Amino acid sequence: MSKTLREIFYETGPQDRMIHKWDHYFDIYEKYFSPYRDRPLNFLEIGINHGGSLQLWKKYFGDNIRLYAVDINPACQAFEEKDVQVTIGSQEDPTFLRSLAQTLPDMDIILDDGGHTMTQQRLTFEWLFPKLKEGGVYLIEDTHTSYWEIYGGGLKRSASFIEYCKQLVDSLHIHHLHNPAQVRSNELIRQIHSICFYDSVVAFEKRQHREPFHTRLGKEQVTPVEIKESKWLATWRKWIGKNVRSFGRNQRH
């Protein structure tokens, strides 16, 4: 039976390259990464520090992994080896990110463990999420920095990456809004299939977000209970001129 990522991590010896991970991340990794074990894989890691994580991924995924890494420290170039390509540059530099997006192949997994500032996380996501293959996963680590002022965050601060992601959750529901112009929508957002929030990690799955629909099949068995409409709801419905519950809009007969 293959070892878990947590087991491989805790086998790191004192002479091995350093790896720094929160323990609860390993359960998140297993959920998203395990389907890719022992199969051809393009994996991009942003922020490699002492290079230990590169060895960790190779041990976990097997010989078919092709690793791409980004770091701002030129010393990290020394970690380049067979099937490991290291690029030096800054996450805060749109010119660098544009060039990186143009030169990288499409990725199965992108892991942002870089500088953790709000600008870095947002810019990197907007430039590199489109590089994911259909069905790929994009993870941003250490999103607790969204609550730390020194990284540009702060509780409920609109510029934080967590608040940015909350707006993307609203965009996922665009087909259910009476006024879709109230939320952001662009090609990147239309490729987001899901957003999952964990303690200090946000995970995005990429799949074209198609307009949802629902279908009623079978014979009705009971008479629906009529709920008395409040005066406020009746007034609001009259004001907007639309049905508040718009199930009919998405129904296929």
Nearest alpha-carbon partner for 204 in 129, 101, 153: 129
> Which among 116, 176, 178, 214 is annotated as catalytic?
116
**Token pair of 90 as six digits:** 């800054």
Please say if 214 is a catalytic residue. no
Rounded-to-integer distance, Cα 57 and Cα 37, Å: 10
Is beta strand 192-198 parallel, antiparallel or unpaired with respect to 201-206?
Answer: antiparallel
- HSE value, Cβ hemisphere, 13 Å, CA-based, for 95: 0
Place of tokens 């994996």: 43
Cα 99 from Cα 113, distance rounded (Å): 20
DSSP annotation of 112: E
Nearest residue to 98 (alpha-carbon basis) of 107, 89, 110, 111: 89
> CA torsion angle for 230, 232, 233, 237 (degrees, to 10)?
140
Q: Which residue has the tokens 């991590």?
A: 9
- How many CA atoms lie less than 13 Å away from 62 in the CB half-sphere? 12
CB proximity list for 105: less than 8 A, separation 6 or greater: 42
Positions annotated as catalytic residues are 116
